[in-house]
Structure 1
Amino acid sequence: MMSISEAATQSGLPAKTIRYYESIGLVYPPQRGSNGYRRYDQGTVRILQFIRRARGLGFSVEECRNLLSLYQDKNRASAEVKRLTKQRVVDINNKIAELTAMRTTLTQLIDRCQGGQRPDCPILEDLAQSNLPPP
């Protein structure tokens, strides 16, 4: 058994994040010692490491909840795990396309701006234009 600071060090998560995960039911609250302090076991640390890795790969908290449930279910079908992971890749590809379009637009704006001492600036002019449809 270990303290929250030891669990934080071993899992790579801040203690505040561990407490948050407990508060939303992602991790079960640990046993408390006679002094009232949380006491974590190695199994909980492994779960925290699992969550840290999944979050690092961009899975949402709810997706982590689903993955964790599947991880703990020894009778699971891996098809659901694969489906969730494939959806994550689709989301990443969409984000890459969005970021690429943003980079292209910003690069074009940079190329149009002289960047001198004159007040006219195509970047600011572009930002001031509303390209959104009216509400």
Structure 2
Amino acid sequence: MDARLDVYRVLGLKEGDAHVIRNAGGVVSDDAIRSLVISQRFLGTREIMLIHHSDCGMMTFRDDAAKDEIENETGLRPSFALEAFGDLDQDVRQSIARIKVSPFIPSKDQVRGFVFDCETGHLNEVAAD
């Protein structure tokens, strides 16, 4: 979701080379799984690269406090998880695990996770558990 990360430039891709699925925090939510299922089952992709980035806004708040703030302002508490996190590498590992346990994603042998360093421009691979 962060506009600082130009995925195509970072990975040396051209338009049409990859399906890019973006959301807040790069979280593997139910909707991200849905998009991955469609990409693999119906559009022929196999490899999944999960990329988080340094200086992520998802590390600046906690779910309960943010939900309290939203509820105080709107009178409604969000039913969805915001999924803030405090450790980039750990969240990448958790996200990889969510992909690998999904019974709906057929190709799981090429799932890799990375953290993009916004300051240096380096893409660092995170070893899965």
Is the radius of gyration larger for structure 1 or structure 2? 1
Higher relative contact order (Cα pairs below 8 Å, separated by 6+ residues): 2
Q: TM-score when scaled to structure 2?
A: 0.23
Higher share in strand: 2
